[in-house]
Amino acid sequence: MVSSNSGLKSKSWQMANRIAIENGYPDRNMPRGHRTPAVASGRRQLNDSRIVFKVPFVSDEVGTAIRNCVRKASLDNMVRVVEVPPSNLRAWLVRNRLHDSVCRTRQCIVCPNEKEGDCMVAGVVHLIKCTVCNGEYIGETGRPLGERVEEHLGTLRRCDISEPLGEHRLRCHDGAMVEVALAILSRESEISARKTLEAL
């Protein structure tokens, strides 16, 4: 720690240690005002044998929630959560949808529920909800959303029990046809990020 006197040095160390612990780092109990050579030189400690759990950076709140789950499960001594930022500006631009497509599909099943052109958006986590019983299915796709939702509705119409919507129709509604509603939960171009968000 860089401070003008030993009292401030000690306070700075305590504050840095507290912040590190709150962010999921173990309490190293290092002497006040001293750093290990690994920390001083900016290198990672090589003796950390915890399993690295990489998650895409979504927000500070999501990162904190994941760390809290790891802590509550008493896995913080075995698992180290690492948030991975988007790889480049292009990923952010795709994620922020600066150049949306326009819907050209007659009787589009996605756009009446969402914004015009959302059926053409690729890389989303979506929610399909049964309007009869409020049963929910969360999925992700890297393809245009309209294509994937058409496939889901096809399995619902055919009552295909090898797929979630067909199985829901058969088991929960004795094969009677049901209506569903669609919502986009998240837009993410990276597949690992979509898989993580789908699982949450």
pLDDT at 98: 45
- 52 domain-assigned: yes
Torsion of CA 192, 126, 121, 195, to 10 degrees: 10
Decide which of 89, 124, 150 is a domain's last residue: 89
Q: What is the DSSP letter of 51?
A: E
* Domain-ending residue, one of 66, 89, 112: 89
- Number of structural domains in the chain: 2
Among the candidates 67, 89, 111, a domain finishes at 89
The answer to whether residues 72 and 105 belong to one domain is no
Is 171 found in the same domain as 83? no
pLDDT score recorded for residue 29: 53
Asked if 79 and 112 sit in the same domain, the reply is no
Whether the predicted pLDDT of 67 surpasses 80: yes
Question: Please, which pLDDT band fits residue 39 given cuts at 50, 70 and 90?
Answer: very low
Query: To the nearest whole number, what is the mean pLDDT of the chain?
Result: 77
pLDDT at 166 over 90: yes
Given a cut of 90, whether residue 176 has pLDDT beyond it is yes
Looking at the structure, do residues 104 and 194 belong to the same domain, yes or no? yes
In a domain, 1, yes or no: no
Range of the domain at 81: 6-89
Mean pLDDT over 9-31 rounds to 68
Q: Are residues 111 and 34 in the same domain?
A: no
| CATH code for the domain of 191 | 3.40.1440
Q: Which amino acid is at 80?
A: R
Residue with the bigger pLDDT between 162 and 107: it is 162
Looking at the fold, whether 103 and 191 belong to one and the same domain comes out as yes
Q: Which of 7-11, 13-17, 55-59 has the highest average model confidence (pLDDT)?
A: 55-59
Residue 94 lies in a domain: no
Name 156's Cβ contacts closer than 8 Å, sequence gap at least 6.
Answer: 165, 166, 168, 169, 177, 178, 180
User: Is the pLDDT at 48 greater than 60, yes or no?
Assistant: yes
Judgement on whether residues 77 and 116 belong to the same structural domain of the protein: no
- Specify if 51 maps to a domain: yes
Are residues 160 and 179 located together in one domain of the fold?
Answer: yes
Is residue 50 located within the same domain as residue 103? no
Q: Counting Cβ atoms within 10 Å, is residue 119 exposed (0-12), middle (13-18) or buried (19+)?
A: buried
At residue 1, the pLDDT reads 44
pLDDT of residue 87: 66
pTM over 0.85: no
- Same-domain status, 77 and 156: no
Contact 124, 186 (CB under 8 A): yes
**Tokens representing residue 59 in the block:** 């927000």
CB of 145 within 8 A of CB of 126?
yes
24 falls in which pLDDT band (50, 70, 90)? low
